[in-house]
Amino acid sequence: MAFMGKIVAVDVGGTHLRAAVYEPDNTKPISHQRVETHSNEPGVYERLQALVENIWPKNGGVDSIGVASPGPLDPHTGYILKTPNIPEWENFPLGPDLSERFKVPVFVDNDANLAALGEWKFGAGRGHHHVLYLTVSTGVGGGVIADDHLLQGYHGLATELGHVIVDPDGPPCSCGFAGHLEAFSSGPAIVKYVLEQLEAGATSDLKRDPDLTPRHIADAAVHGDALGIAAYRRAGEYLGIAVATFLHAFDPSIVIFGGGVTKVGPLLFDPFHASLKKRVFHPRYLENLKIEMAALGDDAGLLGALALAQISL
């Protein structure tokens, strides 16, 4: 539906809270501000409210607020259920509180869903009606656009794609359950695998360093380090297993990858493609399937929140 007024978009990130004001039909904000989140310190909501107060247009005219937040959350009520990223937000009425303070409708969804929505409306997924978005970084998250609709689910918990089981006997995931995609393909999972292999006596240029990062491992792999190569091969292979399942479930015309781990290129994507091809049960899924990198970068959260407010009004 068309909207006439301004929209305030908010992105609750791990390091920064960002807010921006958008005018109709323009993805360049008329103003934009950010402050540090300090997610482990009290007062995250107060900092967020002050940020929105600061950016609120003096002449008003705001129709709604869209918010991208870490989940799990309930997009139907705007409550944050419990998020490891912000300990004080447990069963927290983020949407209702903002709505009461600013007297406009507030729409909330998790950052991965909104990155998917933003990429579909403004980024790499434009023109597609069926989009699968995956972000692979410190965690693995996802979102799905099916028939031009963001899939949210009955409880608003649909498409937690990092937490699908790719091996029931696999390593523990950050959520506590075993064998999820995130436990194989996230940055911390890649590091953990390398440290375990080093401990078991694998030869490598990599050292058992607590500060080891996925980037170090990628650099070693590019220089021919067998353990580094194996770590990304494993991550890519399980990513392929998961994406084959997602194709079977959602049959998208484009798969969009975001997140730092996906920036390593062939190290991850060669084994990914080989694995995907092997696991898709009918070649038809791969016909004309586009696999592309996300286009919105750091603005994915804000533009996703903008898109959510636009489609929800």
Tell me which residues touch Zn ion (CB under 5 A). 163, 173, 175, 180
DSSP bridge pairs for 132: 144, 255
Q: Which residue is nearest to Zn ion (CB)?
A: 173
Give Cβ neighbours of residue 31 (< 8 Å, ≥ 6 apart).
Answer: 20, 21, 55, 57
Inter-CA distances, 245 with 161, 217, 271, Å: 10, 28, 16
- What is the closest distance, in whole angstroms, from the C-beta atom of residue 171 to Zn ion in the complex? 11
Is 36 exposed, middle or buried, given 0-12, 13-18 or 19+ CB atoms closer than 10 A? Answer: exposed
**What DSSP character marks residue 180?**
B
- Active-site position among 111, 147, 219, 225: 111
DSSP bridge pairs for 188: none
Rg of the chain on CA atoms, in Å? 20
Compute the distance between CA of residue 99 and CA of residue 132 in angstroms, rounded to an integer: 31
Angle between helices 300-312 and 111-122 (to 10 degrees): 80
Compute the distance between CA of residue 205 and CA of residue 221 in angstroms, rounded to an integer: 10
CB 160 within 8 A of CB 111: no
97 is catalytic: no
Residues known to be catalytic: 111
